[in-house]
């Protein structure tokens, strides 16, 4: 599929940046964008281009961990189709916002709210506190309520609710809690279900305008298939236009059209058995910790520039999904390395496990053996 240029799509719309910290401003801009007004990008960073295709309603950054994240261009129709598919799958009601608005999961809470003809209810807190969250939920008026969380938030709520009856009552007020954005720890959904909390696992991305597979089953008109390389491919009416480049052009990387259906080729590995999708992991070097993407290559780049002989990897964690780690052949100043990575990459990229070995494992080609490095990290007893 060829590259789309500004000549292919009429360009007559302004792209406006709005800070994620101003929910009211994001809400107003989103409502206008859905109605055909200026396009919206929730970001505090300066925009390289403020002119976009007339079809574009929202631009979402697909990852905040790299120096130049992908900018996903979504139409108003794609956003609405995603919201309608969710409503068909789980029902309609009020939504509680508990996620950042500069990520698709948080922004889709507002889109669903708009589609339901409601106004946003925000849980605003500098740090997610389960006691405060449950207290706020108990004060909501009688209605059918929904929310979306990352697994780390659900884990904290379940831990708290297992010893607080009033918290259990509060969480049962939700008709459904959508959980996605990272690997969900084994047993967490079962623990929530045992408390009477209704949880649905979601799978999707900014490129699909949020979750389009619920508990392994496609919603709306979504179709799922597994490519020859084992990666998951999705086709749905909520697919993005593509990615914006620095000049506002739309580049369809990872998108293709077959028999009048558009497909997005993900970097996730999966399998479909009896119509149910199971996500097996990522095929690239990006991990998801607490719902935030971290590129291990970014950590390696910073370490190399600083002359630190170490390799980034990760280990599984019940609260955060995947957590960065380092393997080195010398003892490291751990605090100094953590501070360096936090400063040059992100807070989420800070390593929390260090493994020292006599020699870094390498392949016959001389390249680092990434699988062996990961096994070294994963086999360390916490």
Q: What is the pLDDT of residue 156?
A: 94
Q: What is the DSSP letter of 347?
A: G
Which CATH code is given to the segment(s) 286-378? 3.30.300.30
CA dihedral 145→128→287→296, nearest 10 degrees, is 150
- pLDDT tens-digit readout, 165-220: 999 999 999 999 999 977 787 789 999 999 999 999 999 999 999 999 999 999 99
User: What's the length of the chain?
Assistant: 382
Q: What percent of the chain has pLDDT over 90?
A: 68
Q: What is the pLDDT of residue 172?
A: 98
**Residue the block writes with tokens 């390249």:** 367
Q: What is the mean pLDDT of the chain?
A: 90
Residue 122, classified by CB atoms within 10 Å of its CB into exposed (0-12), middle (13-18) or buried (19+), is middle
Q: Are 93 and 175 in contact (CB under 8 A)?
A: yes
Q: Indicate yes or no: pTM above 0.85.
A: no
Q: What is the pLDDT of residue 363?
A: 65
266, containing H or E segment: strand 261-273
- pLDDT tens-digit readout, 253-289: 899 999 999 999 998 888 999 999 998 776 767 888 9
Q: What is the pLDDT of residue 285?
A: 77
Average pLDDT over residues 76-104: 96
Q: Are 303 and 350 in contact (CB under 8 A)?
A: no
Residues 6+ apart with CB under 8 A from 87: 112, 115, 116
Sequence ranges of the chain with CATH classification 3.30.300.30:
286-378
What kind of fold does domain 11-282 have according to CATH?
Rossmann fold (3.40.50)
Bridge partner list, 168: none
Q: Is the pLDDT of residue 64 over 80?
A: no
3-state secondary structure of 21: coil
Q: What is the pLDDT of residue 193?
A: 97
Sequence ranges of the chain with CATH classification 3.40.50.12780:
11-282
């Amino acid at each position: 599929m060829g590259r789309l240029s500004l000549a292919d799509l009429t360009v007559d719309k302004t792209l406006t940046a709005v800070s994620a910290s101003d929910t009211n401003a994001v809400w107003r801009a989103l409502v206008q964008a859905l109605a055909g007004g200026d396009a919206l990008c929730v970001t505090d960073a300066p925009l390289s281009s403020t002119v976009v295709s007339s079809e574009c309603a929202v631009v979402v950054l697909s990852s905040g961990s790299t120096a130049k994240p992908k900018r996903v261009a979504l139409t108003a129709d794609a956003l609405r189709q995603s919201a309608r598919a969710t409503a068909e799958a789980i029902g309609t009601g009020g939504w509680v916002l508990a996620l950042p608005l500069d990520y698709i999961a948080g922004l889709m809470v507002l889109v669903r709210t708009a589609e339901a003809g409601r106004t946003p209810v925000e849980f605003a807190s500098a740090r997610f506190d389960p006691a405060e969250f449950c207290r706020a939920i108990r004060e909501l008026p009688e209605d059918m309520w929904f929310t979306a969380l990352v697994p780390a938030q659900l884990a904290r709520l379940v831990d708290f609710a297992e010893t607080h009856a009033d918290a259990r009552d509060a969480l049962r007020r939700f008709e459904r809690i959508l959980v996605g954005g990272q690997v969900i720890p084994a047993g967490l959904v079962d623990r929530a279900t045992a408390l009477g909390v209704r949880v649905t696992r979601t799978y999707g991305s900014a490129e699909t305008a949020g979750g389009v597979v619920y508990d392994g089953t496609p919603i709306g008109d979504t179709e799922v298939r597994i490519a020859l390389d084992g990666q998951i491919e999705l086709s749905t009416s909520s697919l993005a236009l593509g990615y914006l480049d620095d000049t506002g052009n739309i580049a369809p990387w990872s998108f293709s059209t077959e028999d009048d259906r558009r497909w997005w080729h993900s970097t996730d590995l999966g399998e479909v058995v009896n119509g149910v999708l199971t996500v097996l992991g990522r095929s690239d070097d990006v991990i998801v910790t607490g719902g935030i993407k971290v590129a291990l290559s970014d950590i390696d780049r910073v370490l190399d520039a600083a002359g630190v002989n170490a390799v980034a990897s990760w280990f599984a964690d019940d609260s955060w999904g995947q957590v960065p780690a380092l393997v080195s052949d010398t003892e490291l100043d751990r605090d100094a390395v953590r501070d360096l990575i936090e400063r040059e990459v992100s807070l989420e990229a800070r390593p929390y496990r260090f493994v020292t070995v006599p020699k870094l494992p390498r392949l016959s080609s001389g390249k680092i053996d990434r699988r062996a490095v990961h096994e070294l990290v994963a086999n360390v007893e916490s």
